[in-house]
A and B are shown apart, each in its own frame.
Chain A
C-alpha cells in the first residue's frame, strides 16, 4: 500500500496528539473551581452573606489585577450551619464539583467536612469558625481567624480588672459552645472567678425568658453567651427585656451587623480580632476603600477574613502558575507550607504550624450602634 507522506509511526503520533491536544488546551483554559460551604439559608444565613461579600470583592480584585492565567469558577454549597449539611456539601464540592480550594465556616460544619476534604486532598480555609479544636484539624485545613480559646484568654484579665467574678454562661450545645464552657471554667478558676451557671441551649431555641429567670437566680456579675446567627440578638434582647441588667459579654460572632445595630446591644462586650481599617499597607487600604465605595460602610472582620481566604488562593495559584506546576489541593498545600507569609488585609499574614494564623485580638464594646475598641 502506498504511503502518502505519513508513515505508521507518524500516524499514531498524530492521532495521539489529536486526542491529547484538546484536553491539554482544555486543561489550560478550564477554570479553577473554588468552593464555598457556608450557611446560605436558615437562621445563620446572615453569616453566609457576610462571608460571600468578602470573597466577591477579592474576586473583583483578582480579576482586575489579572493575577491568574485561568478564570475562577465558584461552586456554592449551603452548609445550613449543621454538621450534616457540612458533610453533604463537602462531598459534593470534592467529588462532583472537583473543587481544589473550599472556604468554610462554623466549627461543627468544619469538623464534619474536614475528613471528607482531607480524603479528596482539597484545601479548606476557615475564616468564621472559632472552636479551639479547629487548630490541627487536618493538614489540609487552615484558619485565617483567631480561635475562641485565644479570645477567652484575652477576656479573663479584663474580667479580673473589672471585678466581674461570678459569670453565668449561656451556650449553644455544639462543639463551639462546649469548648467555650471548658475554656471559661478552666480560665475563671485560674483567675479567681467562678462559673455560677452554665445553661446549654439547642441552636434553634428562640425563647429565652425562662433562661433569663434562671440566670437572674444565679446572681451573676456578668453573663457570657456563646451562640451565633439570629439567636444572638434574641438572647440579648430577651435577657435585657427580662430584667438582666448585668454586663453581657460574647465572642467575635457578635460582630455581625444585626447584633451591633440592636438597641439592646448597647454596652455589650465583644472580643474579636483587631480590625484596623486605617492600617497603611496597600492591600488593606485598597480593600477598605473599595469596600466603603461598594457597601457604603465599614467591613466586618468576617468580610476581611474571607477576602483574605480568597486572596490567599490567588497568591498560591499565581506562585504555582509561575513555577509551571499544576494547581491541585496537594500543590496548593505545598506552596502554602513553602511560603507561609502573605500580604493580606490587616498586614502580613503568617500561617503557623497547626493551621492557625497569628493575629492581634481586642476587647470591644458596642456604643451608639458601633463596636469600639476598649482594651
Chain B
C-alpha cells in the first residue's frame, strides 16, 4: 500500500513538474533561448494568484491575473531582454546571465511586496481523505491530472493542426522558410514566450495550494524544468512533459526503499543516467558529429 500511495503522490507532483517543464521546453524548442527566467514566471504567477485570493477575489479572477502577469512577463522578457541581446551578439552566456539576473530581480521584488516567508492558499481541495486502507487522496490530485491532460491535448493540437503552431515548430529550424511563407519570426517568437509562460500558470497555482510558495522558489522550479527538458529531449514538449511526470514519480517512489534524503537526488540520478546512456533524451533526435 505504501508504494501505491507513493505512486499516487508521485503522479500529482509529476503533473505539476510536467506542466512547468513543458512551458520551458516549448520556448527553448521554438526560439533556442535558454529562458532561465521561466522559474520567475512561475513565481510571479503563483504570487499573483495568492494576492488575488488574499484580497477575497474568487479563484477564476486569481487564475486570470496569474495568466495575464505570466504572459506579460514572458513577452516582456522576449521583447526587452532577449531580442536586444540577439540583435547585438546573442551569445548563450549573455542570454543566460541576463535571464538569471532577471530571476533575482523578480525574487527581490516578491520579497519586497510579499515578505520573505512561506505563503500558501489553504483550500479544501488539498485535504486528503482515506479512499482505501492506507491510501489517501485529495481532490487536487484529480484537478492536477485533469488540467495537465487537457492542456497537453490542446497544446499538441495547436502545434500540429494550426498554421501558427506549425510555424512555431519550424521557427528554430528554418526561419528563412517562415519568411517565404509570410510568417513573422518575431511574432512567432512572442507567441512561443506567451504560450510557454501560460503553461507555467496551472503548475504555479497548484503549487501555491499544495506545497506553497517562497520567493526563492524560481530556482527550484528552473532546476526541475531543466532536468525534465534534458531527460525528455531538448526542445521536445511531449518529452519534457513525460520526463516531468517521470521525475515526480521517481522522487516519490524512491522514498519507499531508500532514506527520504534521496528523494531529490533520485530525480538527478535519472538525469545523469539519460546524459550517459541516452543523451538525446526520451524524444530528442540523436545528432552525429
Contact = CB atoms under 8 A, between A and B. Distances in A.
Contact of B261 (A49, A201, A213, A230): A201
Contact of B212 (A209, A213, A234, A242): A234
Interface string B218-260: 0010000000000000000000000000000001100110011
Interface of A is mostly: helix
Interface stretch (B7-15, B22-30, B73-81, B273-281): B7-15
Contact of B117 (A41, A170, A200, A257): A257
A118 to B, nearest CB: 30
Is the interface on chain B under 10, 10 to 19, 20 to 34, or 35 or more residues?
Answer: 35 or more
A208 B251 CA distance: 11
Interface stretch (B93-101, B124-132, B181-189): B124-132
Contacts of A240: 127
Given A243-B136, A263-B122, A207 B260 contact: no
Given A48-B116, A262-B120, A241 B255 contact: no
A233 B118 contact: yes
Contacts of B212: 230, 233-234, 237
Given A204-B264, A241-B127, A217 B251 contact: no
A326 B261 CA distance: 50
Given A207-B13, A209-B12, A238 B210 contact: yes
B20 interface: no
Contacts of B119: 258
Contact of A209 (B252, B259, B264): B252
A253 to B, nearest CB: 13
A43 B252 contact: no
Contact of A241 (B13, B117, B138): B138
B104 to A, nearest CB: 9
A256 interface: yes
A221 interface: no
Contacts of A370: none
B118 A210 contact: no
Contact of A173 (B122, B138, B261): B261
A146 B20 CA distance: 43
Contacts of B210: 209, 238, 241
A199 B254 CA distance: 13
A43 B216 contact: yes
Contact of A49 (B116, B128, B129, B251): B116
Interface of A: 41-43, 45-46, 48-49, 170, 173, 199-202, 204-211, 213-214, 216-217, 229-234, 237-238, 240-243, 256-258, 262-264
Given A41-B107, A214-B260, 19 more contacts: A43-B214, A45-B116, A49-B115, A49-B116, A201-B261, A205-B263, A206-B220, A207-B211, A208-B211, A209-B13, A211-B260, A211-B263, A232-B118, A233-B118, A234-B211, A243-B128, A243-B130, A256-B117, A262-B118
Interface of B: 2, 5-6, 9-10, 12-13, 107, 111, 115-120, 122, 126-130, 134, 136, 138, 210-212, 214-217, 220, 251-252, 255-256, 259-261, 263-264
21 contacts: A41-B107, A48-B116, A200-B259, A200-B260, A201-B261, A206-B211, A207-B13, A207-B251, A209-B252, A210-B6, A210-B9, A210-B251, A213-B5, A230-B214, A233-B118, A233-B212, A237-B120, A242-B128, A243-B130, A258-B118, A258-B119
